[in-house]
Amino acid sequence: MLVKYRMLSTISNANFIADIVGILDGTITGTSGLSAGADKTNSSFVGTYPSSQLTKVNAGTYTFSKIHGTDNTYTHYFRLTFDAGVGLAAKMTTFTVAQGYTSGTDTLLNSVAQTVNVSPNTYISASQFPSGINIVLTPKCVWISSLTSGVSFGIFDLGANGITTTYASNMKMAYVNTTLGTFNIPYGYVLSGGASGYTSLTGNLSGPTTPTLMSNISGSAIIVENPAFVSAATQGYAAYGVSNLFKLGSNMFAMDSIYNTSGTRRIVAAADYAIVTE
């Protein structure tokens, strides 16, 4: 599902939180469900909410569980934190990803909080890139992008490798910053002799090579997409494929551009990556 969430200048902090949380928990699946602070005319919802993978597990702390899109034996968690800013000064301040969660105490286990500072912003139809917040919700990722706030990020499923096969508690999801092209796996197994054990892993996104724009026999442009990977030196560079994320050629699209490949829409992030929206 791709949500183009657009806002009015009169939006309140409560409106902003209600809309973001409602979109993420699936209680808002169309523009009619948005708050009075939303620009319903210019907002849109396309696709299906992944109800089998996403669940809000604590309403007070905006904590969600996410089941892996292809390996349902893995469930990880993320939490949103908002400040008390008034109107357009409101912020989603942090996006925290965790390996586990204890419901009785509402405690995230093996977590890392990322500063995101996403603020509401007024929709301006005349601008070259109309402002707002774009949200992708699929079985394999949750992604949020704001041109005005200068950030795009989310939680993405990871593929299996020898590390996940041997060390089953190693997470199979990662926080990915698609503006900077970086990642964080909050709980991964480090191979370091007698000091081996679980810890947080960070690094840069990678790919086999950067593709280029090509054309076919009829002269039509062909957008070449390569898979995206994450790997860490402390795991011997064992690579994980990143689901729903593809590397594009350099400077082919502006951030938040949308294109269609075989009937499936992609939205472009700043660091020449595309996110599958369905």
Q: Per-residue pLDDT averaged across 40-65, rounded? A: 97
Give 167-196 pLDDT, tens digit per residue: 999 999 999 999 999 999 999 999 999 999
For the chain, domain boundaries: 2-276
Give 218-255 pLDDT, tens digit per residue: 877 778 899 999 999 999 999 999 999 999 998 888 88
Structure confidence at residue 213 (pLDDT):
75
Most confident of 10-24, 199-213, 264-278: 10-24
Q: What does the DSSP assignment read for the chain? A: -EEEE-B-TT--HHHHHHHHHHHHHTS--SGGGS-TTB-TTT-EEES---TTTEEEEETTTTEEEEE-SS-TT-EEEEEEEE----GGG--EEEEEEEEEEETTTTEEEEEEEEEEEE---B--TTSSS---EEEEEETTEEEEEETTTTEEEEEEEB---HHHHH-TTS-SEEEEETTTTEEEEEEEEE--GGG-EEEEEEEE-B-S-----EE-TT--EE---EEEEE--GGGTT--EEEEEEEE--TT-S-TT-EEEETTEEEEE-TTSEEEE--
Q: Label residue 214 by pLDDT band (50, 70, 90).
A: confident
